[in-house]
Chain A
Amino acid sequence: MSRRGGLLVQLGCIAVTLFMGVPLYLIALAALSSRESLNRFPLPLLPTSLSGETMSTFLRSTGIVGGLINSVTVGLGTVALSLAVGLPAGYALARYAFRGRDPYQLALLLTRALPIVVLSVPLARIFLDTGLYDTSYGVTLLHTALALPTTILITSAIFLGVSREQEEAAMIFGASPLRAFVRVVLPQALPGIAASAMFTFVLSWNEVLGASILTLNRRTLPAQVLATLADSPLAFRFAGGLALVLPALVFIAVVRRYLLNMWGTTLR
């Protein structure tokens, strides 16, 4: 590549990084500024008056800590349930040829095209009748339904990557299929499964619409922020923005290595 071309590539990369990164800096700056400095105009662009005041006011607002707890509960519940239901199915897809395999896989792909909104409103009715409305169980069920197809496809891709010969060898030496799975397959598949679990958690953490429709008092954090959006001051909204963004930074930092495999191979 020519020297000029190389320079252009560097500049292009920097431009994109600025577009992606500057808003993150700004929301952090806004959420970590004092209330008084947020009322100033023009706003300072450098962190000159940092303070935890805005964030702590946000955290002390009604429903925020409760929402945080609900979000984590729902997220962990979704991870557990989608793995409990999804892992066996992913294993079956990776290891067995069975009748109906192709239609099953097609159905999995199709469900991902189903808008959440189509499920949420009727589910609210169903949950009202069954006593699941306004509980974290109800939201967990919805989020699991959303995450399940992806979990199955990702875990089946992971199991395909674990050699079958080792599993068979374990069974030749007398291990039961379950034991062979737990002792031989699982340890090798674990990093991938962990990445998939985090993906599920983030999906649940980020989901707003369904959680808003299925709950009234036991809202998740995003649902709580959305519900109070219209009548809350700007400082509250900025703090809410940062609170919702932070887990994303951590999540991406951790799963970066698996990202291309997860989205790349399972989506095709």
Chain B
Amino acid sequence: MLAAGPRGQPVPGGLMPPGARRRGRPPAALLLIAPSIVFMAALFLWPLVAGVTQAFTGPGGPTTAYVRRMADDPYFWDATRNTALLIVVLIPLQFALALAMALLLRQRPRFAGLHFYIWVVPLAISDLAAGLVWLSVFTDRGYLNSVLDHLGAGPYAWLSFENPSTMFLAVVVAELWRATSMVFVIVVAGLQNVPRDYDEAAAVFGATYRQRVRHVLLPQLRPSLQVALILRTILALEAFAVAQALTGRNFPLLVGETYQWYYQLQNPNVATAIALVVLALSIVAAVGYLRLMRGQPGMHG
């Protein structure tokens, strides 16, 4: 450790053979990150600026025509309502289930490895695939109705637009199935950092299991839960292929409407306008969570 810099820069000249170049060249770190900066500027910043331009500029200069066209479409408001409803119902369910799963696994059940594998498989399943998987269950002549039939109950049109509540239920179940594993993995990783002694100490002093979860584990898990909450909400805002696979356009979601406007209606400007609404909602959600969490006592950041 002869010439370690402040954060231990490897050999800034000191360990090089004498006479090696040490004149004013750009720092190595900058050279290493430069390609990624260029890349991200080209593929994040540029489209973002182009998108705002696209949504607010018509053939004859600046216009709000596209935004008005978006707002005049009844599907847009349905989609906004459905997206909000999905998030409000789905996220709490998802966190409750993920926490329960993590706590179950912490008890070191038998076949823990097998359980863990099955529980995290959906992590690598796309929302389109999840929609198709659950389509086989909920479709009119699908597996759920087959089971009901075996039990002597009549078939039910789960995905019919006449039954909006079961249609919503199907989308929630499919999303719960697909995306809970992500929260689960984050929570399990967070739990690994909670020393078992804390838990055991609380138990020695007579804390019940419920008390230990509430006062020992949950506070320690907070940073993990925060990240998971922000990520999941933003990702849930982007859900669309699940609903598309299960219900077509009967259960419109915001991102699905972008797809419709771009594809079926061939209007990229309105599509971009809706996309910007999704972006705005993502930002509002992220900032909202951060402010809310900062307000809590005992929080940092």
Classify the secondary structure of B's interface with A. helix
Considering the complex, give the chain B residue whose CB is closest to the CB of A19.
B177
List A contacts of B110 (CB < 8 A).
10
5 contacts between A and B (CB under 8 A): A5-B107, A6-B107, A9-B109, A12-B100, A149-B40
Structural contact, A118 and B119, CB atoms closer than 8 A: no
Q: What CA separation (Å) do A30 and B173 show in the bound complex?
A: 19
Among A88, A122, A229, find the residue whose CB has the most chain B CB atoms closer than 10 A. A122
B202 at interface (Cβ–Cβ under 8 A)? no
Say whether A260 contacts B185, CB under 8 Å.
yes
Point out the residues of chain B lying under 8 angstroms from A267, CB to CB: 186, 189, 224, 227-228, 231
Is the C-beta of B276 less than 8 angstroms from some C-beta in chain A? yes
Task: Give B contacts to A, CB under 8 Å.
Answer: 1, 5-11, 15-17, 27-33, 35-37, 39-40, 43-44, 46-48, 50-51, 54, 97, 100-101, 104-105, 107, 109-112, 114-129, 132-137, 139, 141-143, 145-147, 149-150, 155, 177, 181-182, 185-186, 188-190, 192, 209, 223-224, 227-228, 230-231, 234, 237-238, 240-241, 244-245, 248, 255, 258-259, 262-263, 268, 271-272, 274-276, 278-279, 282-283, 286
Closest 7 CB pairs of A and B: A264-B189, A241-B132, A206-B126, A97-B7, A42-B146, A248-B124, A145-B43
**What is the number of contacts between chain A and chain B, taking CB atoms within 8 Å?**
313
* B115/A98 in contact, CB under 8 A: no
Would you call B117 and A245 a contact (CB within 8 A)? no
Say whether B124 contacts A208, CB under 8 Å.
no
Binds B, one of A62-70, A109-117, A188-196: A109-117
> Contacts A92-B32, A144-B39, A241-B135; is A164 near B10 (CB within 8 Å)?
yes
Do the beta carbons of A115 and B255 come within 8 Å of each other? yes
Nearest CB in chain B: distance from A229 CB, A: 6
Contact of B177 among A23, A91, A125, A256 (CB under 8 A): A23
